[in-house]
Structures are given as C-alpha cells and as structure tokens.
Amino acid sequence: MTVKTILTEPNPLLRQISKPVESVGAEEKKLMDDMLDTMYSANGIGLAAIQIGIPKRIIVMDLSKNEKKEPRYFVNPIIKNRDIKKSTYEEGCLSVPNQFAEVARPKECEVEYLDYYGNKKILKAQGLLATCIQHEMDHLEGILFIDYLSKLKKSMIIKKLSKAKSTRIVV
C-alpha cells in the first residue's frame, strides 16, 4: 500500500469526469488499497480516485471515529433515490485544504455500487454517510463543494489556494 499525493484546487484533473470501471480486478484493488492509505494518512473520511489523479469511478470512505477501521469501497456508484429534504453540513475537502463551508444536500439517498469484491450492493445512507457519499460522487463528475458557494466566496477560496501554491514553487 502506498500513500499518494492528493491533488489540490486549482488543478484541471479535478474537473475531469471519471470513467466507469469495467471489472474490479487486481489493478482496481491495488488502487483502492492505495486510496485508503492516502485517505488515512491525510485524516480524511473519504477519497475519490481522481483526487490522486486517476479518473476512475472509485471511492473509498471510513467514517469510524475509534481505532477500529471500517473501510468502505464504492465502485461505479449510482444514486437511485434522493430525499427532497435537505440537510446542511459544514464540509471540507482534501483537495481544497483548510477551507470549510456549509453545503445543503439531500438528507438521505440510496446508492447502488460494486464493493471491493465486485459484488453489487445497495446502501441506504443518511446523516454524515449521505453527505460524504454525495460529496465523493461529485468528485466523479469534476464537482467540488466550493462550486455550491457564492461566486465571491468561491473565487476568494481559489485565490487563497493559488497563492499558497505559488509560494511553494521555488524559482
């Protein structure tokens, strides 16, 4: 298992639409292992493959708070049903470092996907699980949570991140 570099905004790769996986083979399992390692080492609760530069429709998540790990794997996830009721959560993103904002999303949703072994599963999600899976599925479409903010808030965040990036380059 390898910890990969997480891409940060602005990076055009984060805006790519990820491609469906044909089958969950050795390559995909290795990718999911690396993604999980990368997510744990960054203290995140979720990660989409595109965040490490791979445009595949694969997500890993772990919402457990204690020592016991509870990894979840989602390949080719599809939202089957979403709540008309919304719930608001203060979101952050490993690809938008140190920025947080409230985002309203459907409170509950039903997701169909393939698991680590390629078995078809259905999950009824609510609370943080529902928020997180929708945040991750947005990554598969090249969408970041800052896209839901006002133009002003979004541009301020992008400006900050660009500035932070430019100071890291030694000419």
Give catalytic residues, as residue numbers. Answer: 136
Only one of the segments 15-23, 71-79, 86-94, 110-118 lies at the binding site for ligand GNR (rule: CB under 6 A); that segment is 86-94
In the list Ni ion, ligand GNR, none, the entry touching 47 (Cβ below 5 to 8 angstroms by class) is ligand GNR
Only one of the segments 20-28, 104-112, 132-140, 148-156 lies at the binding site for ligand GNR (rule: CB under 6 A); that segment is 132-140
* Smallest separation (angstroms) from ligand GNR to the CB of 136: 5
In the list ligand GNR, Ni ion, none, the entry touching 91 (Cβ below 5 to 8 angstroms by class) is ligand GNR
In whole angstroms, give the CA distance from residue 166 to residue 171: 10
Task: Report the Cα 171 to chain-centroid distance in Å.
Answer: 32
Quote helix, strand, coil % in the chain, to nearest 5.
Answer: 35, 30, 35
Question: What is the distance between the terminal CA atoms of the chain, rounded to a whole angstrom?
Answer: 33
In whole angstroms, give the CA distance from residue 136 to residue 152: 24
Give the footprint of Ni ion on residues 81-100 (CB under 5 A): 93
The reply to whether 101 sits near Ni ion by the rule CB under 5 A is no
In the list Ni ion, ligand GNR, none, the entry touching 35 (Cβ below 5 to 8 angstroms by class) is none
Asked if 52 contacts 7 with a C-beta cutoff of 8 angstroms, the reply is yes
